[in-house]
Amino acid sequence: MDNIQDEVPIQIQFEFLNDNKEIELSKKYTVNFQRSEDLEINRLNILNSCDFRTQEERIYYYFFNAKTKIFLIKNTDIINYYKQNKVVIMKNCKIFADQICEKLKVKTLKYKKNKETLDELKKSEIIDLKKIKIILILRYLEHNFQVDLFAEEFIANNGLHYLEIIIQHKTENKRIFALKGLRKLLDFKSACIYFEKNIQFLSILYDIIMSNETINGSLISFDIMIKIIGNNKEKIAYIIDVAEKYAKNNNTKIFSQIINFLKESNKEKKLQYLSLFFINIIINNCVPNKLHTILDQLRDLGIFEILDKPREYEKKFEEQVEIFNNKTKIYRKEIK
């Protein structure tokens, strides 16, 4: 059984870039770590007890696993280093976010038709393009965005724009990882402000949902789209316009694939729930002259038969069915 001590001495080293932009490590510091204390308080106490560079620079440092390229976000992560007598590396979130965004910038240039942007990069950066393991960067973003310092610097370095470009292109698992990372960033006000200014991103999410290439892609895209839309009537009007154009261009009815997600044959319960939740947002916030047309098309797609069919629903889905039925009650009487 582990001999439990509340305070344990751990060794840490600060990672930094030398004048040649090469990674180096500071001297080792032995600092006290409190098992029962909040990790952020532990971090600040540790930073205050070290004399590495200035206090202003130290504030950007966070516990990091240099091998896996992920931040250590739990007390138990740090205690494991202590048990194994390993040194904990402190990573500069500001520099790390800048490095990640530079790599994403280079990678996303491949997707752009405008070659002029290549001139903005140094030759060395272009040469390094093939060396970038972009999938590894994207894989860990969702986890690393749990560290506010890193997430905020990533957003400040135009990271959302690079994720948006990656999401637009169907590239193996890269899109899914980018979507997961972006979903996590919506916890930050600065990310919400970005999508206030870039409302056209909703059309990308809608295309992913309607194409239904992967259940996971549709599910995460729904999650993101619902968060961005909220009950904002302007955004809802925009997505209705996108949906109408999509239906026209693909010779189908509005929200056709979304209605398919509501069917009993779809075993992904969360996707069922998000689909109806989305429909309710639309019909409860769209302008009156659009509502009847949308309900006509939903009726033709069989939404009433799908939802009226006796079957077992989860409680939160039943709540959405009730909301839908209340909103469409008058309409259903009119068409009888």
Asked if residue 161 belongs to a domain, the reply is no
Work out the pLDDT band at 3, boundaries 50, 70, 90: low
Asked if residue 298 has pLDDT above 90, the reply is: yes
Distant-in-sequence, close-in-space partners of 19: CB < 8 Å, separation ≥ 6:
none
Asked if residue 97 belongs to a domain, the reply is no
Asked if residue 248 belongs to a domain, the reply is yes
pLDDT at res. 303? 97
Work out the pLDDT band at 22, boundaries 50, 70, 90: very high
Query: Which range is least confidently modeled, 2-16, 80-94, 117-131?
Result: 117-131
Q: Which pTM was predicted? A: 0.89
Asked if residue 159 has pLDDT above 70, the reply is: yes
Tally of domains in the chain: 2
Domain end residue (candidates: 92, 112, 127): 92
Query: Which range is least confidently modeled, 36-45, 131-140, 180-189, 245-254?
Result: 131-140
Summarised one tens digit per residue, pLDDT across range 80-121 is 999 999 999 999 999 999 999 999 998 888 766 444 444 444
Asked if residue 147 belongs to a domain, the reply is no
Domain residues for 18?
7-92
pLDDT at res. 111? 65
Asked if residue 139 belongs to a domain, the reply is no
Strand duo 87-92 + 7-17: pairing = parallel
Asked if residue 197 belongs to a domain, the reply is no
Asked if residue 131 has pLDDT above 50, the reply is: no
- In angstroms, the CA 315 to CA 296 distance is 27
Asked if residue 67 belongs to a domain, the reply is yes
Q: Give the mean pLDDT of 148-174.
A: 92
Q: Give the mean pLDDT of 318-332.
A: 95
pLDDT at res. 215? 92
- Residue-by-residue DSSP string for 213-234: S-HHHHHHHHHHHHHHHTT-HH
pLDDT at res. 114? 46
pLDDT at res. 125? 43
Work out the pLDDT band at 129, boundaries 50, 70, 90: very low
Q: Give the mean pLDDT of 35-57.
A: 96
Closest CA to 178 of 152, 149, 208, 148: 208
Summarised one tens digit per residue, pLDDT across range 33-42 is 999 999 999 9
Asked if residue 253 has pLDDT above 60, the reply is: yes
Helices vs. strands in the chain: H and E counts, helices first: 19, 6
Residue 143 or 115, more confident? 143
pLDDT at res. 165? 93
Asked if residue 181 belongs to a domain, the reply is no
What Rg do the C-alpha atoms of the chain give, in angstroms?
A: 25
pLDDT at res. 139? 94
pLDDT at res. 52? 97
- In angstroms, the CA 197 to CA 265 distance is 38
Domain end residue (candidates: 92, 127, 161): 92
Work out the pLDDT band at 1, boundaries 50, 70, 90: very low
Return the SS3 of 87. strand
Work out the pLDDT band at 313, boundaries 50, 70, 90: confident
Domain end residue (candidates: 75, 92, 109): 92
